[in-house]
């Protein structure tokens, strides 16, 4: 896949789309606040909401005066009618200001960076990128999430390390940044409470895929971090929110444009999510693979994405003269052990026994596996025919692992942290019939017939000659004037 670069312009791609320039609205706030039913009607009928309207709605969400049905109705109206750039910027700012703001020492101002991903199968980039950026002189206050979909989120993966504590106060976060240069924590009730309420409501009202709501949710959490620069990994493909690159680009341009309007330098990378990232899927297995990447080894696609995203961030924040120089610095941090050292410091600072943190970061892959949760059984699947691996579809693999306990269907559900799968083959590789291609780590009984069929159908073979697998990175959308 050829990589390319585009620059966000802020020009409206389509009427009613949230990338519009918003030049006609938000001028004269109403002297008296409108009632919620009137606000819902305005948006339902395709009207534009003033700044006072949007802030009134967010205030009602936070103080509890908005009923659940009213919140759902407004979310659906926004989903169907859209918001322009200015409306989306105001919504983002109102969500960010609904709770506590993080404050850092003045000297850190240019050092604060972060990364966000729209989510994918086997996506363990944050576990590697945060300590690698810290090793390059950045401060990374990463507020992350849990998985509600196929497999666990970043916090779930880290919690497969015994003792790791994702609950940290703003004061504790500052201490973590002083000690390790990075922290990965959960969203507290004090930070962006309005987004927490809307996020839960979106999940049960079929409004998860609304561009303005996605944008406001992502950027509001990042605004409170007081960042110098942010890179967002927008996934597209068979196992992503957006099936094609064009839809992902629309979200990317919106994120970049809204970020610029709020004084935040945002770059958005478009990356393919048809196959799993790396070779491992599942919480503890992904921690093992992240450690391998920080050894300077591991799957090339994971390393490529870590260095590409990290290089863009170092360039955007002024820590590197070019993206290529930034990527080289991140690669050096993976190869010289400094990223692994920062990861060890972060583990110990966030509750992991220092001896365990040291053993995890200095041990062999076999030793690490003994220290992390393990599934009770392993089961291998064999290639059904000769052929070249064209693709391993991520979605059916993720759905089966979800059934086996690697993911959750509702918030608070416990996960089986050792459950997962290892790909034993690479895309582009020639396979002989009967060769093991997938190792499933499971706690329960043997795979059912439908589960085995679903997994075997995830393996796509062709007759063509072996080939080098493409990079998942496709395109970088940059802020104006960058």
Q: DSSP H helical segments within 186-299, as ranges?
A: 193-203, 211-223, 245-261, 283-294
For tokens 């970020």, the residue is 259
Q: 115 an active-site residue?
A: yes
E strand or H helix at 140: strand 140-144
> Residue 20's pLDDT is what?
38
The token pair that represents 478 in the structure block: 């940059």
Q: Is 113 helix (H, G, I), strand (E, B) or coil?
A: strand
Total residues belonging to the chain: 482
Q: 92, 117, 126, 215: which one is catalytic?
A: 117
Q: Which of 144, 204, 213 is nearest to 173 (CA)?
A: 144
Give, to the nearest 10 degrees, the angle between helix 283-294 and helix 354-362. Answer: 70
Q: Are 312 and 231 spatial neighbours (Cβ–Cβ below 8 Å)?
A: yes
Q: 146, 221, 235, 253: which one is catalytic?
A: 221
What would the 3-class secondary structure string for 85-107 be?
HHHHHHHHHHHHCCCCCCCCCHH
> Residue 215's pLDDT is what?
96
From the centroid of its chain, how far is CA 447? Answer: 30
> Residue 175's pLDDT is what?
97
Q: What is the DSSP letter of 472?
A: S
Q: What is the mean pLDDT of each run of 10 residues along the chain (482 residues)?
A: 44 34 44 88 97 97 95 97 96 94 91 93 96 97 74 88 94 96 89 89 87 94 93 94 92 96 95 96 97 97 97 95 97 98 98 98 95 96 98 96 84 85 97 97 94 97 96 93 64
For tokens 């395709």, the residue is 46
Q: Are 274 and 98 spatial neighbours (Cβ–Cβ below 8 Å)?
A: no
**Using CA atoms, how far apart are residues 381 and 282, in angstroms rounded to an integer?**
17
Q: 336 an active-site residue?
A: no
The token pair that represents 428 in the structure block: 């582009």
Q: 114 an active-site residue?
A: yes
Q: 55, 202, 279, 342: which one is catalytic?
A: 202
Q: Is 128 helix (H, G, I), strand (E, B) or coil?
A: helix
**Using CA atoms, how far apart are residues 445 and 465, in angstroms rounded to an integer?**
38
Cβ-based neighbour number of residue 460 at 10 Å = 15
Cβ-based neighbour number of residue 363 at 10 Å = 14
Q: Are 375 and 413 spatial neighbours (Cβ–Cβ below 8 Å)?
A: no
How many angstroms separate the Cα of 460 from the Cα of each of 394, 428, 437, 441? 11, 11, 11, 21
pTM greater than 0.85 (yes/no):
yes
Going by C-beta distance under 8 Å and a sequence separation of 6 or more, which residues neighbour residue 323?
308, 311, 312, 315, 476
**Using CA atoms, how far apart are residues 55 and 96, in angstroms rounded to an integer?**
11
Q: Is 423 helix (H, G, I), strand (E, B) or coil?
A: strand
> Residue 482's pLDDT is what?
57
Q: What is the DSSP letter of 376?
A: S
Q: 19, 154, 188, 207: which one is catalytic?
A: 154
Cα distance between the two ends of the chain: 24
Q: Which of 231, 230, 169, 220 is nearest to 198 (CA)?
A: 220
Q: 55, 79, 116, 139: which one is catalytic?
A: 116
Q: 116 an active-site residue?
A: yes
E strand or H helix at 71: helix 68-81
Q: DSSP H helical segments within 116-162, as ranges?
A: 125-135, 154-159
> Residue 14's pLDDT is what?
33
Q: Are 145 and 153 spatial neighbours (Cβ–Cβ below 8 Å)?
A: yes
- Give strand pairing partners of 267: 231
The token pair that represents 69 in the structure block: 């049905």
Q: 202 an active-site residue?
A: yes
Q: 88, 151, 210, 217: which one is catalytic?
A: 217
The token pair that represents 224 in the structure block: 């409170």
* Mean of pLDDT over the chain: 90
- Give strand pairing partners of 229: 113, 265
Q: 43 an active-site residue?
A: no
Percent of the chain having pLDDT more than 90?
Answer: 80
Per residue in 349-402, pLDDT tens?
Answer: 999 999 999 999 999 999 999 999 999 999 999 999 999 999 999 999 999 999
Domains of the chain, start order: 36-82 (no CATH), 106-367 (3.40.1030.10), 373-462 (3.90.1170.30)
Q: 271 an active-site residue?
A: no
For tokens 């599942």, the residue is 282
Q: 115, 235, 368, 441: which one is catalytic?
A: 115
E strand or H helix at 138: none
The token pair that represents 265 in the structure block: 């330098």
Cβ-based neighbour number of residue 448 at 10 Å = 12
Q: Are 236 and 245 spatial neighbours (Cβ–Cβ below 8 Å)?
A: yes
Q: 55, 79, 150, 222: which one is catalytic?
A: 222
> Residue 150's pLDDT is what?
64
Q: 53, 84, 114, 274: which one is catalytic?
A: 114
Q: Which of 384, 391, 378 is nearest to 434 (CA)?
A: 384
How many angstroms separate the Cα of 80 from the Cα of each of 10, 45, 399, 464? 21, 10, 29, 44
E strand or H helix at 402: helix 394-403
């Amino acid at each position: 896949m050829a990589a390319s670069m585009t620059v966000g312009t802020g020009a409206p791609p389509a009427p009613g789309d949230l990338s519009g320039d918003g030049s006609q609205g938000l001028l004269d706030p109403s002297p008296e606040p409108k009632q919620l039913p009137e606000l819902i009607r305005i948006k339902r009928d395709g009207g534009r909401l003033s700044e006072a309207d949007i802030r009134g709605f967010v205030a009602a969400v936070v103080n509890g005066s908005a009923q659940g049905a009213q919140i759902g109705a407004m979310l659906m109206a926004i989903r169907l009618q859209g918001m322009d750039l200015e409306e989306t910027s105001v919504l983002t700012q109102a969500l960010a200001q609904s709770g506590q703001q993080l404050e850092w020492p003045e000297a850190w101002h240019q050092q604060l960076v972060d990364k966000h991903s729209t989510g994918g199968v086997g996506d363990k980039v944050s576990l590697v990128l945060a300590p690698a950026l810290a090793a390059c002189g950045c401060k990374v206050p990463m507020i992350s999430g849990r998985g509600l979909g196929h497999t666990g989120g970043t916090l779930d993966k880290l919690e497969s390390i015994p003792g790791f504590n994702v609950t940290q106060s703003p004061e504790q976060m500052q201490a973590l940044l002083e000690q390790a240069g990075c922290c990965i924590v959960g969203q507290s009730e004090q930070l962006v409470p309005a987004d927490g309420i809307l996020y839960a409501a979106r999940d049960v009202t079929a409004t998860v895929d609304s561009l303005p709501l996605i944008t406001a949710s992502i950027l509001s959490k990042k605004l409170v971090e007081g960042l110098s620069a942010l890179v967002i990994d927008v996934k597209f493909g068979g196992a992503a929110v957006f099936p094609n690159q064009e839809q992902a680009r629309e979200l990317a341009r919106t994120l970049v444009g809204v970020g610029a309007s709020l004084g935040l330098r945002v770059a958005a990378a478009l990356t393919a999510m048809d196959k799993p990232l790396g070779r491992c899927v599942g919480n503890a297995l992904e921690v093992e693979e992240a450690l391998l990447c920080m050894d300077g080894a591991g799957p090339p696609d994971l390393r490529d994405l870590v260095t590409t995203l990290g290089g863009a961030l170092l360039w955007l924040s002024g820590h590197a003269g070019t993206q290529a120089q930034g990527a080289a610095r991140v690669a050096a941090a993976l190869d010289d052990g400094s990223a692994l050292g920062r990861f060890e410091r972060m583990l110990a600072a966030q509750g992991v026994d220092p001896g365990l943190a040291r053993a995890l970061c200095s041990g062999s892959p076999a030793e690490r596996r003994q220290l992390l949760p393990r599934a009770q059984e392993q089961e291998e699947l064999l290639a059904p025919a000769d052929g070249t691996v064209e693709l391993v579809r991520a979605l059916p693999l993720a759905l089966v692992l979800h059934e086996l306990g690697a993911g959750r269907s509702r918030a608070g559900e416990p996960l089986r942290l050792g459950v997962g799968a290892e790909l034993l083959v690479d895309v582009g590789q020639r396979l002989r019939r009967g060769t093991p291609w997938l190792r499933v780590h499971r706690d329960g009984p043997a795979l059912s017939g439908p589960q085995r069929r679903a997994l075997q159908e995830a393996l796509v073979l062709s007759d063509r000659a072996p080939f080098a697998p493409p990079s998942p990175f496709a395109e970088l959308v940059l802020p104006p004037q960058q």
